[in-house]
Each structure stands twice: as structure tokens, then as C-alpha cells.
Structure 1
Amino acid sequence: MRTLTVALSLSLTLGLTACSGSGGVHAASGGAGVGDPYFPKSGNGGYDVTHYDLTLAYAPDASDTSDTPDTAPSLTATATVTARATTPLSTFDLDFQGMKVNSLTVDGKKASWTRSGQELKVRPSAALRKGGTFRTTVHYSGTPETITDPDGSDEGWLPTADGALALGEPTGSMAWFPGNDHPSDKATYDITITVPKGLQAVSNGELRSETTTGTGAAPTTTYSWHTRQPMATYLATVAIGHYDITRTTTRNGLPVYVAVDPQEAAASRKVLGKLPEIMEWEEYNFGPYPFSSTGAIVDRGGDAGYALETQNRPFFPGAPDTATLVHELAHQWYGDSVTPKTWRDMWLNEGFATYAEWLWAEDHDGDTAQQTFDALYKGTYFDDKADDDAVWAFPPATPTSAAHISDSPVYERGAMVLHKIRRTVGDARFYDIIQGWAATHRHGNATTADFTAYVEKMAPGKDFTEIWKDWLYGHGKPARP
């Protein structure tokens, strides 16, 4: 068993005035949830976060051998989040599940708060004015939770053999820091992690500093990471453990930071060596890379049940194959930079990244995208007929429930939609569309309706009625491939 000591500063800077009788601010509750069709409690109304400053200190739990319960908190946090009020606020919510809140202030003044499920409802001492900024500081303690997704997979805070791993899609970030946990609210980040000397701590963005302090039995090392491009909460990560660290650059000077568990180093070496080549190929096809560094995190197989496109450096449970590396790096354009506005728009992430795999194979002596499309349509793509049938379970733009937002129709049938567009407009216009889409919504959010409108704008005179009706929104297998 491991324990964790964390100092997490969440500052929300919203300089607003209080209601004070006649002529004062008429404020109301910001509201819990942003109305996501699949995760209605995720996110919060009334404010827009611009920056998270998270400071964590991790230490193994030395109390395991004791016959008495551990009385020391496993996580202690002081946090800083910066945000802007979008409406006058008398109260607002943060998404935060588990752990104990010890104290909370808004703009340096003590604020009252209540908790219900994942909602931390805050009442500042004075109402907050629309358009201003506010700072919320939360002190909390406890053991971060592992959250089970509707599809049965684990996220949140995952203990590993030599440390811990934080993964957040779709709702796991609320297990290790309070915030506005919905993809529609993106922000910049500073994440500082202190660990016992000998462990590494890897996160998003660029490593600003690495400092070892203390002597004797308990020296520590502090890693300070900065993410200067906006990032959705579900893409934030922390990986703590023993890693072989490689720092290189691509041919155009982009920093590459790769962290690999020593047990996975040999198996990962060949594929990870392709990372610069894959990045160059993806920039050629998708347009300029939207972030200031790239890389990968490879932990042991079994530490998580899936790879994830954590921003700047995707996470892999065990050595990835080439297709998976292509997929997760493509997400840096489609998902991380252009982020879905709701979880209903998940195919804009997964359909694009899956089609990137098809394009890579086509350009590297594998099946053409048309051959892959045909195999899926004929039901000969997967080894199991049930997997072939699952492609047609629901339309990619409207998953049946939260448990199915990562199912085959979102991935494979989503990629088929893109291939249908490509066949309709031709290669030159298709690459104009996917590059322009990434550029137009760079560091922003978008919906399926935004995408279909963009395609129609970029290809005037072309008829997409059948594609939208039968392939994107239609139920069952379309009559014609």
C-alpha cells in the first residue's frame, strides 16, 4: 500500500463584488453540470477556468506495517485555479470526488462549502461579478480514488507497482484535483510533483525544473511541469514511478520527452524510435503540430487497461505497436487541440485517430484505406463476427449511452465517415478539409454540427446528404458502401 502527500493549489481569480441591497449584484448559483448528454453532472456553470496550478507531494505509506489504522492523510493539497465568472455568482461548484476538504477560501477570504457526490459547492463571502476573476484555494486530504467508468474501465488515481498513475477520460481528473471537469472548459496548467529521491514524476507540457532537496533518510526530488497551451481536464496526467528518460528533438527542433518503465524498455525501443518519423508524417498530413513538445509515457502492461492521448505525451500500458502510437499522436490534433464540446462528439476524436491509422498503413505498404473500409463493410475486418457486427450497433454521432462512447461505431464507423468524405471530394480537397479543421478550431472546442458545416463550406457543390443521413446519423448498416 502507498500513501500520498500532495500540496495542490487551486486558484480561481474572479474579482467580483457582493450583493449589497438595492443596486448590488443579483447573483445566483452557477449550477452543477453543464448539461452533457452522457455525463450531466460533469462540469459546472457560471465560470470559465483559465489556469490550474497543482502542487503534489507523493510519499510511500510507511504505516502499512502498523497494527493501528493510518491516521495521517495520504494526500494533502493546496491548490490554485484561475477563472472568469460568466454570470454573477452567489455560489459555484467544483467537480471533486473523494478525499476530505479541510478548508477553502475565495480571493483569500474564508468561504463556506458543502459536498454532495462529486459536487463541491462553494459560497464565497461576497457575490462574484460577471466578467471578473476569482481565486479559490482548497486545502484537502485523503487517498485519491480509482473511478470505474460506465464501460467498466478504471480511471482517476491508479496505484502501480512502483508508484501511481493519474488518467482522466472521461471523468477521472476529479479524483485527484478539484476543477471544472468537462472537455468544454480548457485551461493552461502548472503541475509540480515532489517524490522520494529515486522516483520520477512525469506530467504534461515541458519540464521546467528538477530539484533534489534534503539529506539523510528522506531526500526528495521535485519536478515542475508547465503546459502553456489549453488542455482539457481529462487530458491531464501524472505518472510516478521508475522510468528510463530519453530527451531528444525532432528534425524541426520540437522537444521529445519519453518516459519508459525499465521493464518495458527493450520491447518499446523499436516502436518509440519511430516517433520522430510519425510526427513528421502527421504534420505533413494534418498540418502544423499544435503543441510545444511531444513524447510518450510507457508504464507496465496492466497498470491501465487502455492507451490514452494525454496531452503532449500519450500514455501506453506496455510497449505500443506502431498503429497505436500513430493513433494516440494523431489525437494531439484531433481531440487534444480540437476538443469535443460534449462527450457525444467523441467520434471527432476517435474516428479521426482511427483514420490516421488507415492512412499510415496506406502510405507504408499496408492495406489502402479503401481496402480497410471494404473489409469493415463486408464484415471481414475482425477475427470475431461479433466485432464485425458491433460496427453497426449505433450511429457514430449518437452513442446509445455513456457506456458506449468508446465502442466500435465511434472508432471504425467514424473513420468510415471520413473515408466517404474523402471519396466524395477527392484527396486534395480532403486534406485541405482535415488540415483546415485542425487549424480553424486549434486549441478550441467543436461539435459534430460544426464539422459537417465546415465540410460543406469547404466543398461547395458536393452533396453530403447520404453521408450524414446514412453513415453519421443513420441506424444500422447503410445499404450501399
Structure 2
Amino acid sequence: MGARLLGGATAAALVLGGLGAVGAAAAPKGPGPRYTAGASGAGDAYFPFAGNGGYDVRHYDLDLDYAPPAPAPAPLEGRLDGTATIDLVATRDLDRFNLDLRGMEVESLTVNGRPAAEIAPPAPGATVDGAAFWHVQDDDARVWELTVQPRPKLKAGQQVQVVVEYGGVTTRPEDIEEALYGWVTTRDGAMVASEPDGSMTWYPVSDHQTDKASYSFAITVPEGKVAVANGIQPRPAETAGGFTTWYWDAPDEQASYLTTASVGDFELRPPTASASGVPIIDAVDRDLTPGRLETTNASLARQAAMIDFFESRFGPYPFVAFGSIVDDDTIFYALETQTRPVYSRQAAEGTVAHELAHQWFGNAVSPERWQDIWLNEGWATYATWMWTEENGGPTAQQSYDDWYDESRAADYWELQIGDPGPLGLFAEQVYDRGAATLHALRVEVGDEAFFIATRLWLERFDDGAATAEDFQAVYEEVSGEDLDEFFEIWLVDQVKPPADWVQP
């Protein structure tokens, strides 16, 4: 992420407890397949109910209709209706499985074309006859689970298509900690930024980065509004009867929190390209103030050069396109939504570099556990240090020295960036100490080993997710060093690292 003031770890997103699987049926006894309920979470310690188990989503096709709020002083409420077509593969013999969906009401659901009946949640262990679904939304327990019981049951390896029709009123919480999470209603449309688990607020999903998928979008909005999502436009927008449908296609593997479908009064600019041919597609709010528009234009003009520079350090850009969505919102914010980062109010050069670097670090290779978010934010911050050095600013060493020598309160060093807790996901230390950790690692193993290992890390785990232990193993493999002490000092110890660790 770019702006740390709000980060993306909203209080609304934080799950601090856990419950058992909702309505899980007992596995049948005897020979043959043992059908079980898919887990109601992906196993993340910070967000126990984010994601789901028992299947692998391959593709989401999202057909959305959105009515933005009426002009002020009307309430800041929109209306979202959608049809989500979800292609998945069962990874075990399933009696039932879950999707994450929050704040929306399900109107109908089919599995492989067979309709399921909506029922009340059964008691744990109860037997349910026929195909059915039930939706538990418990804000106090922080559980939002859409449970699907297909009939016939699913066998491991079976390809399944689930179609969910759903809808609901969208609003914007007054609480600043909840204001930028998931589908964020704006007066002129919506700004969609979902880290860490806000995608469930606007479509049914396995909302964890260990279950990546490709996406396609058809977004219908009132004529004059522009809808922008991930990837490229496979065909032009179509207008009829006062409404326009915008089409987007994101064929690369993508974590759910990196998905966007922002709507507003955007100028969708003609594509440009980097030297390597990466298309750059920008959507800029027509209502930006002159000063912010000037800053934004100057920053976006440097995107091609940034891609060229990062490709020279990290390898080829990993996706089909890049670009931006710059929205005129009331709070500064940025998120590395895949191929098309979201910026509120303006896009500053350092923030653009940060969000671009995330396309490699966080998007192409995602943290398997949210506790390893320093691998996202530390890398994006360090890459920005490198970009600044390349353009005549302070060197990476000078940025490190400024970070290290700055007077800080003692409690700054108490946060373990290797396990910051759900309330610390977007703490300053995750960004800056994360970047300093990478610079110290670079000094420890030397430039050659550092950049070889960096490329190997990105190649080995491309389109997937990995842990800090995986990261350490790659750098030990390339450098031949035992880095246990290094990572203990930089990620775990709750004191300032030794002053002589990094020599100028």
C-alpha cells in the first residue's frame, strides 16, 4: 500500500477470534469416498474465516449493475446487484463448502446448473436433504459465510460452476477506520479497495491470497459514468437505454484483495506503453483540483520509466497491463490493486513507484500468511528507495541511515515486523523496518547474491504465495550463508538492530 494513514487494515476487517465450521456435517462412515465439509477459513491466524477450504477457484466472472448515490443531500447510498459465475475444482470429496460474502443478500444459487434451495442454517451435525444454501452473517462474531450444499456431492478433482445472484445497498461508514474497506461508496460512484479481506463486501469469494484466480468483468453503470477494473479491455464499452457496460479481463492469477471495480467520473485515457511493451491504462477523476492534477500527471508520466527500471532489477513485469485509478476522495489512500493501483486525491511519484513495485512483491508473489506482510510493504518501500537513488535522490544507504539515526520512541522497536498482529499490519515499522531489513540483507550477502536471489524468489513463487521462511531459504540457497541470526534480529527481536550491522 502507499498511504499508511489508513493503510487498509480497517477495524472492520480485523478478525480477532474464531469459531468452528458453521453447520459442518459429520463424515459418512464405511468404504468409499468420505465426504466432508470444506473448511470455513483458509487457516490464516489473523483472519480465521478469510478464504475457505476444500476447493480451488480457477475463475470469477462478475456481472455487476451499480447505481451510485443520488446527488447531495440525498443519503450516501448506492445499489449493487451482481451475478458471480465461479469456476472451481474440488480438492477433496465435499459434502458442502463455503464462500465469503458480507453485507449482500443472496437471491439465487446454482451448482452446475442445478438450483439450490435457500434454508435456515441447520444445527451442527444435522443432515440436510437436497441441494441447499444458507448464509450466516454475524458481525459480532465477524463471520460472513455462504455455505453451499451441492447434490450430488462433489468428488475430488471435479470441476464445478457456481452461479450466485445477489445484491444489496452500499454505504460508507462514518468511522474513519472503516471508511476505506471493500466497496467504498462515493458520491459519484465507488472506490474499491479490499486489503486484507474486503472483497467479500461486493462478491462471493474465497477471500484469501492462497486461492488466486483469473477474473472477467461486465460492469453496468448509468451512462456518463466510467467503470474501471483489473487487466485490459477485451472489447469497447456498450451504451444502450441510458446505461453503459464496461468490460475488463484479468487473465493472470490474482489474489481477491487485489480486485477492483471502481466507478466514477473518470477520464479513461488512451493507453501508452513501457519500453518492453507493457500497456499502461490510466483513469483519472475529472474533478481533481488543478494542483493535484498536475502532481498526478507528472507522476503517471513516469510509469513507463519506472517499469523499465524495476524490470532491470527484478525481471519482466508480471502481468498483462499496468496503470492507475485516481479518484477524487476525501482521504489520502493508495492500494496496489493488480495492474491498476487505486489512488485517492492524487498520485504522487513515490507512491506510484511503491504501488508498481507491489506488482512483483505482494501481487505476483503474495504472503501465504498475513503475518508476513513485511514482504509486501518492506519490498515496495525499499524499491522506492532504489528508484529515488536512480533518479538522483538519496541513495538506498542514505535512506537507511536516515531511518536508523532518526530519534524514535522506545516502543517503536517493540513491534515484531515478522509477526505484527492483525492490528499492526500497516504500522510504520512494517514499511520502514521492512525496507531496512532488505537493505541490511543486501549488505550481508552482497549485491550479486541479493539480486540473483530476488529474481529466484520471484520466479519460484510466481502466481502463488510463500512465507518468510521460504524467503530466507532462497537467500540462504544463493548466498550459502546461514541467515537464522540475521532474520531473528531483524524480524523478531524487539530492540534496535546493532549500529554496526550495515556499514556505509
TM-score, normalisation: structure 2:
0.84
Give the whole-Å Cα distance in 2 for the aligned partners of 1:77 and 1:269.
34
1:337-375 C-alpha deviation (Å, 9 max, x unpaired):
001111111111011001011111222222121222222
Gaps of 5+ in 2: 1-26, 117-131, 138-143
1:240-290 C-alpha deviation (Å, 9 max, x unpaired):
111122221222222110010123333311111111111111111111100
Letter in 1 for 2:297: R
Residue number in structure 1 paired with 2:115: 110
1:44-82 C-alpha deviation (Å, 9 max, x unpaired):
111110100001122245799999xx9xx9332222011
Contact kept, 8 Å, 1:255 with 1:293, in 2: the verdict is: yes
Deviation of the 1:194 alpha carbon: 1.0
Residue number in structure 1 paired with 2:302: 274
Give the whole-Å Cα distance in 1 for the aligned partners of 2:172 and 2:342.
17
Letter in 1 for 2:372: D
Look up the SS of the partner of 2:418 in the other structure: coil
Which residue of 275, 278, 299 corresponds with 1:254? 278
Deviation of the 1:226 alpha carbon: 0.5
Look up the SS of the partner of 2:276 in the other structure: coil
Which residue of 453, 460, 463 corresponds with 1:433? 453
Look up the SS of the partner of 1:208 in the other structure: coil
Contact kept, 8 Å, 1:52 with 1:80, in 2: the verdict is: yes
Give the whole-Å Cα distance in 1 for the aligned partners of 2:258 and 2:173.
16
Residue number in structure 1 paired with 2:251: 228
Give the whole-Å Cα distance in 1 for the aligned partners of 2:187 and 2:72.
15
Residue number in structure 2 paired with 1:348: 375
Residue number in structure 2 paired with 1:469: 488
Paired residues for 1:196-211 under 5 Å: 196-211=222-237
Give the whole-Å Cα distance in 2 for the aligned partners of 1:186 and 1:64.
39
Give the whole-Å Cα distance in 2 for the aligned partners of 1:268 and 1:62.
28
Contact kept, 8 Å, 2:104 with 2:167, in 1: the verdict is: yes
Contact kept, 8 Å, 2:98 with 2:147, in 1: the verdict is: yes
Look up the SS of the partner of 2:416 in the other structure: coil
The share of aligned pairs that are identical, in percent, is 40
Give the whole-Å Cα distance in 2 for the aligned partners of 1:200 and 1:447.
38
Contact kept, 8 Å, 2:40 with 2:51, in 1: the verdict is: yes
Residue number in structure 2 paired with 1:4: none
Look up the SS of the partner of 1:184 in the other structure: coil
Contact kept, 8 Å, 1:151 with 1:402, in 2: the verdict is: no
Letter in 2 for 1:467: F
Residue number in structure 1 paired with 2:393: 366
Give the whole-Å Cα distance in 2 for the aligned partners of 1:408 and 1:66.
38
Residue number in structure 2 paired with 1:421: 441
Give the whole-Å Cα distance in 1 for the aligned partners of 2:394 and 2:148.
55
Which residue of 320, 323, 333 corresponds with 2:350? 323
Residue number in structure 2 paired with 1:12: none
Contact kept, 8 Å, 1:260 with 1:297, in 2: the verdict is: yes
Which residue of 294, 308, 314 corresponds with 1:286? 314
Deviation of the 1:149 alpha carbon: 10
Moved more, 257-266 or 200-209: 257-266
- 1:152 to 1:109, Cα distance in 2 relative to 1, 3 A: closer
1:216-261 C-alpha deviation (Å, 9 max, x unpaired):
xx42211111111100000000111111222212222221100101
Contact kept, 8 Å, 1:52 with 1:190, in 2: the verdict is: yes
Give the whole-Å Cα distance in 2 for the aligned partners of 1:147 and 1:128.
40
> Structure 1 residue 48 and structure 2 residue 67: aligned?
no
- 1:61 to 1:370, Cα distance in 2 relative to 1, 3 A: closer
Give the whole-Å Cα distance in 2 for the aligned partners of 1:268 and 1:66.
31
Which residue of 174, 195, 200 corresponds with 2:200? 174
Residue number in structure 1 paired with 2:416: 395
> Structure 1 residue 81 and structure 2 residue 86: aligned?
yes
> Structure 1 residue 190 and structure 2 residue 212: aligned?
no
Contact kept, 8 Å, 2:35 with 2:94, in 1: the verdict is: yes
Give the whole-Å Cα distance in 2 for the aligned partners of 1:147 and 1:450.
38
Deviation of the 1:130 alpha carbon: 0.8
- 1:100 to 1:133, Cα distance in 2 relative to 1, 3 A: same
Look up the SS of the partner of 2:235 in the other structure: strand
Paired residues for 1:448-459 under 5 Å: 448-459=468-479
Letter in 2 for 1:209: R
Give the whole-Å Cα distance in 1 for the aligned partners of 2:342 and 2:69.
25
- 1:63 to 1:413, Cα distance in 2 relative to 1, 3 A: closer
Give the whole-Å Cα distance in 2 for the aligned partners of 1:301 and 1:145.
15
Give the whole-Å Cα distance in 1 for the aligned partners of 2:344 and 2:239.
31
Size of the aligned set, in residue pairs, is 447
Residue number in structure 2 paired with 1:9: none
- 1:176 to 1:405, Cα distance in 2 relative to 1, 3 A: same
Look up the SS of the partner of 2:236 in the other structure: strand
Give the whole-Å Cα distance in 2 for the aligned partners of 1:136 and 1:422.
47
Contact kept, 8 Å, 2:69 with 2:188, in 1: the verdict is: no
1:287-345 C-alpha deviation (Å, 9 max, x unpaired):
1100111111111142x542000000111112222111110000000001001111111
Paired residues for 1:116-127 under 5 Å: 116-117=136-137, 118-127=144-153
Residue number in structure 2 paired with 1:33: 41
Look up the SS of the partner of 1:455 in the other structure: helix
Residue number in structure 2 paired with 1:297: 325
Q: Give every structure 1 segment of 4 or more consecutive aligned residues whose post-TM-superposition deviation is greater than 4 Å.
A: 19-24, 61-67, 145-153
Look up the SS of the partner of 1:142 in the other structure: strand
Letter in 2 for 1:272: L
Supply the RMSD in Å over aligned alpha carbons. 2.5
Look up the SS of the partner of 1:348 in the other structure: helix
Contact kept, 8 Å, 2:285 with 2:326, in 1: the verdict is: yes
- 1:390 to 1:84, Cα distance in 2 relative to 1, 3 A: farther
- 1:365 to 1:390, Cα distance in 2 relative to 1, 3 A: farther
- 1:230 to 1:120, Cα distance in 2 relative to 1, 3 A: same
Considering Cα pairs closer than 8 Å and 6+ residues apart, tell me whether 1 or 2 has the greater RCO.
2
Look up the SS of the partner of 2:156 in the other structure: coil
Letter in 1 for 2:277: G
Letter in 1 for 2:416: P
Give the whole-Å Cα distance in 2 for the aligned partners of 1:478 and 1:327.
25
> Structure 1 residue 376 and structure 2 residue 403: aligned?
yes
Gaps of 5+ in 1: 1-18
Which residue of 409, 433, 436 corresponds with 2:429? 409
Letter in 2 for 1:284: S
Give the whole-Å Cα distance in 1 for the aligned partners of 2:488 and 2:74.
63
Residue number in structure 2 paired with 1:478: 497
Contact kept, 8 Å, 1:395 with 1:476, in 2: the verdict is: no
